[in-house]
């Protein structure tokens, strides 16, 4: 298949590009910069220059392709709500370009789902959810209602592996800055997790075997206790590991306090059964407990 990939030079997207090419698919990747374009070309993918703010460039990138995999997102948390609305418009533009009959795979997150119980692929994001990231699934639902073949992949808070620049490296940076590795309360809240290479295989399987309107969970581990993550970081940095509560939580974590305290129990068992997806890579704690995550 001919596949247009947004975020093709990113942490997850670059792994997807290599996975698709390795399976014999033809890839056109979105690149914002000249450096990104060169790196993408070296993988054997065709390069399409553009960015998420230029909807016409996205429509042109999707033109003539058999499918689109959308992984790009503007990771500027100081403008998080605005960037979520950008993603809403991007999904709408890609859906318009594809029309019916050609798959659009949209990226969302398990963190949108209700806490306190094990979330599954059958769970819908509550309409009352106050998290701006709900915009992506709302846009996917709107496109699906128009007859577009939309498939949603929900990724967990930690997609890990070499080159990770997400939540776990942020925690490592906070520990270095504050002089301690922290968790909230007893640290029993959990994050699901997946290795980037396992996630890449999932996107390929969703492309090849997925069905219109379906939701898939890229969850290799249902829930890793946050305290265990903090303990590995503390040991690797030779820093104290401490429980925080009250005002100390905001003082340490800042805007990240919500994510540090989230209890996001989620499963991908239905995804595994439907697509024969079998995660093979290292789990989060094993992967984190390596020098690569702490190189400076």
CA–CA separation, 199 vs 287, rounded Å?
15
Whether the pLDDT of residue 20 is over 80: the answer is: yes
The radius of gyration of the chain's CA atoms, rounded to the nearest angstrom, is 19
**pTM for this predicted structure:** 0.96
Same domain, residue pair 99 and 178: no
Does the pLDDT value for residue 110 go beyond 90? yes
Q: Which long-range contacts (CB under 8 A, 24 or more apart) does 51-56 make?
A: 52/6, 52/86, 52/87, 52/90, 53/86, 55/89, 55/90, 55/93
pLDDT at residue 80, rounded to an integer: 85
What does the pLDDT read at residue 115? 84
- With 70 as the cut, is the pLDDT of residue 129 above it? no
Return the CATH number at 39. Answer: 3.40.50.720
Q: For residue 75, what pLDDT is reported?
A: 81
Do residues 89 and 107 both lie within one domain?
Answer: yes
- Say if residue 77's pLDDT is above 80: no
Check whether residue 284 and residue 182 sit in a common domain: yes
Q: Mind listing the pLDDT tens digit for each residue in 229-284?
A: 999 999 999 999 999 999 999 999 999 999 999 999 999 999 999 999 999 999 99
- C-alpha span between 94 and 101 (Å, rounded): 13
Question: Within this chain, do residues 131 and 163 fall inside the same structural domain, yes or no?
Answer: no
- Encode pLDDT of 149-208 as tens digits: 999 999 999 999 999 999 999 999 999 999 999 999 999 999 999 999 999 999 999 999
**Structural domains of the chain, count:** 2
What is the extent of the structural domain holding 142? Answer: 2-156+194-220
Q: Are residues 202 and 248 in the same domain?
A: no
């Amino acid at each position: 298949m001919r596949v247009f990939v947004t975020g093709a030079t990113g942490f997850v997207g670059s792994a997807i590009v290599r996975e698709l090419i390795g399976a014999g698919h033809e890839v056109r990747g979105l690149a914002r910069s000249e450096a990104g374009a060169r790196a993408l070309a070296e993988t054997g993918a065709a390069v399409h220059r553009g960015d998420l703010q230029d909807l016409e460039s996205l429509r042109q990138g999707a033109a003539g392709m058999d499918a689109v995999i959308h992984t790009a997102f503007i990771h500027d948390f100081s403008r998080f709500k605005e960037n979520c609305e950008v993603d809403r418009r991007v999904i709408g533009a890609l859906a318009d370009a594809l029309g019916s009959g050609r798959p659009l795979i949209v990226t969302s997150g398990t963190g949108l789902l209700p806490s306190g119980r094990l979330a599954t692929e059958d769970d819908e994001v509550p309409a009352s959810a106050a998290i701006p990231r709900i915009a992506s699934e709302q846009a996917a639902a709107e496109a699906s209602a128009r007859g577009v073949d939309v498939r949603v992949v929900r990724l967990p808070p930690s997609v890990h592996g070499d080159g990770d620049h997400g939540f776990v490296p942020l925690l490592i940076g906070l520990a270095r800055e504050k002089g301690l590795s922290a968790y909230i309360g007893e640290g029993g809240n959990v994050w699901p997790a997946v290795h980037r290479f396992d996630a890449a295989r999932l996107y390929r399987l969703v492309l090849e075997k997925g069905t219109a309107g379906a939701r898939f969970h890229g969850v290799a581990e249902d829930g890793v206790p946050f305290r265990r993550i903090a303990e590995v970081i503390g040991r690797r940095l030779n820093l104290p590991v401490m429980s925080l509560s009250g005002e100390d939580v905001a003082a340490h974590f800042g805007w990240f306090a919500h994510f540090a305290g989230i209890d996001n129990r989620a499963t991908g068992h239905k995804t595994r059964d439907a697509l024969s997806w079998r995660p093979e890579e290292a789990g989060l704690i094993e992967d984190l407990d390596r020098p690569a995550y702490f190189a400076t």
